[in-house]
Structures are given as structure tokens and as C-alpha cells.
Amino acid sequence: MTITRQDTDATRALHGLEDGNASVRLRAALTVGTAPDPRFVDKLVERCAVEPEFFVRDMLTWALTRHPVYVTLPALLREVRSQRAQARSQALHTLSKIGDRQAWPAITRTLLSDADDEVARSAWRTAVVLVPEGEEPALATVLATQLGRGERETQLSLSRALVALGEVIVPALRAATTGPDPRVRTHAIATERLLRDPDAGFEFAVDEAKRIVALGGSDQEGH
């Protein structure tokens, strides 16, 4: 069997993905993405699960998007069921970049409510990209169960995902404003404010929502 220069370069790049130097790993991911080969996919997916540097993970995702969907999709769908949180999160992120709706059935309620905030945030973003036409209201209902969750960054991610779905989110938000948890009510009101006025900014919307909740209101009057 003849070993070509291309094979040698591929082997070197795959080894480079595990180098101790992040810059070497970045160049290796760039090389793999520049010359896509189905043999690279499993290694790229495997590396996404453990790569500590964000900018390298981003390049790994780019490299995966350069490969045929019929090769990458099965590997990524297996990965979203991984026990490792980073593996799930990065696989979801990559699916959002690929944008193939064949992946939609894998975006389960379990992922959308994953105990790990990074996984959940990735699932929310991916769901909004992949949701089939007509299923947006059902997705909004599931996403609304996560209102009030986590710190400001997590709440902002959820609000952005909901707002991206458009007006279909209003019934789910209105229902959330009648619940007993003030954090949920505040988040729901702030999200609807963002839907109505995207330029208002999340901090301003939250402050306004807190004021409304403190006064015992639900912000439904006049809408």
C-alpha cells in the first residue's frame, strides 16, 4: 500500500490535534478543515469533547462543518448523548452551525433542560435553528419551563432563544408571569420586553421587570 504525501500530512494534522500547545492544535484543526477527509471526523468530534481552549473548539467545529453531513451527523448525534457535558455542548453547537434539520429529533426535552448550563444554552440555540415550521409554539412552551434559571448570562441566552422564535412565545411568557416564583415572572416579563423592543437591552428589561413584579403586576395590561 502506497502512503501518499496527503496521508502523511493528514496523520501529522491528527497528531497535532493533541499537541500540548494550543496554537499547534489550532493550526492542526485548520489544516483538517482545509482538506476535509471523512477519516478525520471521529477524531475531530472526540477532540471537541476534551479541548480546553474556546478558540480551538471553534476551529474544530468549523472543520467539522467542512465535511459531508452524512458523515458528521451520525457522529454528532451519538455525542449529544455523551456522559461528558462538554461533549454534549460542543456537539449541539456544531449541529447548530451545520443547520441540518435531520438532527431535530435529537434535541430532546432532556437536553433543553440539561442540568449543565452550557449544555442547556447550546441546546436552546440549536433548537431555534433546527425547529421545523409549525413546531415553534411547542418549543416555546418547553423553553419557558427554563425561565428564571441560572445567572444573568444563562437567562440572557434563554431570552435570546425565545425572542428568535417571534410572537409565538407570547402565550408561554404570559402563562409564566402568573406563576409563584418571582424570578420566573421577572424573566418572562423581561423577555417579552425584549421581544417588543430588541434595542432596549437585557439589563434595562430586567430592571423594568423587577419593578413590575415588586409592584405586583404582570405587565399584561395594555398588550
Q: What is the 3-state secondary structure (H, E, C) of 98-114?
A: HCCHHHHHHCCHHHHCC
DSSP tally for the chain: helices H, then strands E? 13, 0
Whole-model pTM? 0.88
With CA atoms as reference, report the closest residue to 26 among 58, 67, 66: 58
pLDDT in tens, the chain (223 residues): 433 555 566 778 888 999 999 999 999 999 999 999 998 999 999 999 999 999 999 999 999 999 999 999 999 999 999 999 999 999 999 999 999 999 999 999 999 999 999 999 999 999 999 999 999 999 999 999 999 999 999 999 999 999 999 999 999 999 999 889 999 999 999 999 999 888 878 787 877 888 888 887 655 544 4
Rg of the chain's alpha carbons, rounded to an integer? Answer: 21
Query: Residue 216: what pLDDT?
Result: 75
Query: Residue 8: what pLDDT?
Result: 62
Query: Residue 217: what pLDDT?
Result: 60
Query: Residue 205: what pLDDT?
Result: 80
Residue 146 contacts residue 187 (beta carbons within 8 Å): no
Residue 197 contacts residue 219 (beta carbons within 8 Å): no
For residue 173, the surrounding DSSP H or E stretch is helix 170-176
With CA atoms as reference, report the closest residue to 125 among 105, 83, 97: 97
What is the rounded CA–CA span in Å between residue 112 and residue 131?
A: 13
Matching CATH number, 1-130, of 1.10.10.10, 1.10.1040.10, 1.25.10.10, 3.30.110.60: 1.25.10.10
Grouping H, G, I as helix, E, B as strand and the rest as coil, residue 196 is helix
> Could you tell me where in the chain the CATH 1.25.10.10 domains are found?
1-130
